[in-house]
């Protein structure tokens, strides 16, 4: 044991790859691979695409150690990657933890249960996990997520050293207050062979009063463009056709880097990579969306003509209270600029209903903006009070019955606008990336995604999954289409 510790590298990713090898040795010593079998793992992911991308990295490390994935939570290692943006996500996490605790107690006492992600950056949640869920073995947050191999190694060593039945006494807890750098070149297991998320930055500096993200994800940190391009080229070599550029606020990419790079310049560089047929990005902030980016989108055929432009509220008064850094008029001016340069662009949005202090007049302004912009689709949310955010302490919270009434009215306006926008494609031929299949009455129906991010269903063979084809749009059903395949692209 001492020899192993003496040879631990100081630099990353070499340090984590060392622990990958050491974990495998310890598992072999414990008989985990006896009989030709391998220990199993299961990852449950909650929340945004950033979390799902993190889970792909966890899976890559665990499979490098020797674990094999299973769909069931009755695995040797169960990991919950959590979200804390809205209350229902946290509630779901506690439900799953309660279930897996029973599984561990009744059928697999040596099971390793880990919990990580945004929830674990909240001190109260960590204390609750430590006090009320003694069967949880590993707890870590977002700032040291790359250290999963090292944390697992520490747990396995603790169990071996104590030579006792696994219990809370062998638990490993490491939650950092601040990020400790971006670590490149760790193993990744991509969920798809033809689509992939690609982190370009982490954290957020906007500090919207309703949002917990800057507190649990930290301040903005951008990856070097050479590392992003290297990963994109690797994805292209594996046959990936569509990449989604990920960050809490991708439009602010490049700040703090020692290179002359902006988000628009990065997108332009990525568009040169052979094999990448579609580039998307999520999520931009209206304050930082540049005209240069719109121009790149207009002139690059493989950059999707889709901009997700979160509004949150149509009232300048509420936007100021939200600390959104723009007014209603500035937002509408940006939309006009997009329409002028890129008239075919699909514009989608996020809207919060019932933010503290929202009056009927404020809400009517939101409806007015929705009707003015006529969004292709909108993600609508009821305001969720998150402890630790400024808005949670505002005195003028909105009654639930008022929020529900406004929410229902907003949904109708959004649905009417979406239907109007979607109908523009009726009778046209569109390029589709085929994503999945579903069998109904013995016939296979495929689902593909258009450039505008909406789905189309059509008949076809499952061998087309992952390919680009042309589909004739025959019907429009609010948020999706029915089409007929023409030919492969």
- What pLDDT, on the 0 to 100 scale, is given for residue 162? 63
Sequence length of the chain is 489
Beta-strand runs (E) in 409-467: 429-440, 443-449, 455-459
Mean pLDDT of 456-469: 93
Query: CA nearest 305: which of 296, 317, 318?
Result: 296
Q: What is the 3-state secondary structure (H, E, C) of 37-97?
A: CCCEEEEEECCCHHHHHHHHHHHHHHHHHCCEECCCCCCCEEEEEECCCCHHHHHHHHHHH
Whether 249 shows a pLDDT value over 90: the answer reads yes
- What pLDDT, on the 0 to 100 scale, is given for residue 388? 87
- What pLDDT, on the 0 to 100 scale, is given for residue 153? 97
- Domain 2-174 falls in which CATH fold? Rossmann fold (3.40.50)
Q: What is the 3-state secondary structure (H, E, C) of 161-216?
A: HHCCCCCHHHCEEECCCCCCCCCCCCCCCCCCCCEEEEECEECCCCCCCCCCHHHH
Looking at the chain, the domain(s) classified CATH 2.40.50.140 span 426-488
| C-alpha–C-alpha distance, residues 264 and 257, integer Å | 15
- What pLDDT, on the 0 to 100 scale, is given for residue 1? 45
Looking at the chain, the domain(s) classified CATH 3.80.30.20 span 195-424
pLDDT cut 70: percent of the chain above it: 96
3-class secondary structure, 266: helix
Looking at the chain, the domain(s) classified CATH 3.40.50.12160 span 2-174
- 282: β partners: 246
- What pLDDT, on the 0 to 100 scale, is given for residue 86? 76
* CATH class of domain segment(s) 426-488: mainly beta
Whether 357 shows a pLDDT value over 90: the answer reads yes
**Chain-centre distance for alpha carbon 119:** 15
Q: Over the stretch 69-85, which tens digit does the pLDDT of each residue have?
A: 999 999 999 999 999 88
Tell me the average pLDDT of the chain: 93
For the chain, helix, strand, coil in percent to 5 are 40, 20, 35
**Which numeric CATH code is attached to 195-424?**
3.80.30.20
Q: Distance of CA 149 to CAs 15, 61, 476, Å?
A: 9, 7, 48
Q: Over the stretch 308-317, which tens digit does the pLDDT of each residue have?
A: 999 999 999 9
For the beta sheet containing 40-45, the strands, ordered from the edge strand earlier in sequence to the opposite edge, are: 68-69, 40-45, 77-82, 112-117, 138-140, 172-174
Whether 67 shows a pLDDT value over 60: the answer reads yes
Rg, Å, the chain Cα set? 24
Whether 166 shows a pLDDT value over 70: the answer reads no
């Amino acid at each position: 044991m001492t020899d192993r510790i003496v040879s631990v590298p100081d630099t990353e990713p070499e340090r984590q790859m060392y622990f990958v090898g050491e974990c495998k040795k310890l598992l072999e010593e414990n008989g985990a691979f006896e009989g030709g079998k391998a220990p199993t793992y299961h990852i449950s992911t909650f929340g945004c695409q950033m979390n799902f991308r993190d889970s792909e990295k966890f899976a890559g490390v665990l499979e490098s150690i020797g674990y094999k994935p299973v769909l069931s939570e009755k695995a040797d290692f169960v990991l919950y990657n959590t979200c804390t943006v809205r209350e229902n996500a946290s509630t779901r996490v506690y439900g799953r933890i309660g279930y897996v605790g029973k599984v561990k107690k009744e059928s697999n006492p040596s099971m390793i249960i880990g919990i990580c992600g945004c929830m674990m950056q909240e001190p109260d949640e960590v204390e609750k996990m430590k006090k009320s869920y003694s069967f949880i073995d590993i707890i870590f947050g977002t700032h040291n997520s790359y250290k999963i191999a090292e944390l697992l190694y520490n747990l396995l060593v603790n169990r071996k050293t104590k030579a006792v039945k696994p219990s809370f006494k062998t638990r490993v807890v490491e939650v950092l207050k601040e990020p400790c750098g971006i670590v490149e070149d760790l193993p990744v297991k991509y969920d798809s062979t033809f689509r992939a998320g690609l982190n370009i930055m982490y954290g957020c500096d906007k500090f919207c009063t309703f949002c917990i993200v800057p507190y649990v994800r930290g301040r903005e940190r951008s990856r070097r463009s050479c590392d992003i391009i290297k990963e994109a080229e690797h994805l292209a070599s594996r046959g990936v056709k569509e990449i989604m550029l990920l960050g809490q606020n991708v439009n602010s990419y490049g700040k703090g880097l020692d290179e002359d790079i902006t988000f628009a310049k990065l997108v332009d560089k990525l568009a040169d990579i052979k094999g990448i047929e579609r580039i998307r990005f999520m999520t931009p902030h209206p304050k930082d969306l540049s005209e240069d980016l719109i121009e790149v989108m207009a002139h690059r055929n493989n950059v999707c003509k889709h901009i997700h432009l979160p509004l949150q509220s149509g009232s300048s008064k509420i936007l100021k209270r939200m600390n959104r850094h723009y007014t209603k008029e500035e937002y509408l001016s940006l939309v006009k600029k997009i329409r002028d340069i890129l008239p075919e662009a699909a514009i989608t949005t996020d809207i919060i209903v019932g933010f503290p202090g929202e009056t009927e007049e404020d809400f009517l302004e939101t409806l007015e903006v929705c009707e003015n912009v006529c969004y292709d689709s909108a993600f609508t949310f009821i305001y969720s009070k998150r402890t630790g955010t400024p808005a949670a302490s505002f005195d003028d919270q909105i009654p639930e019955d008022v929020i529900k009434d406004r929410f229902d009215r907003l949904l109708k306006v959004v649905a009417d606008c979406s239907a109007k926008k979607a109908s523009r494609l009726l009778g046209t031929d569109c390029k589709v990336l085929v994503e999945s299949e579903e069998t109904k009455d013995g016939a296979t129906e495929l689902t593909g995604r258009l450039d505008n991010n909406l789905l189309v269903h059509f008949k076809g063979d499952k061998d087309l999954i992952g390919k680009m084809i042309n589909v004739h749009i025959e019907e429009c059903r609010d948020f999706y289409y029915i089409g007929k395949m023409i030919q492969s692209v």
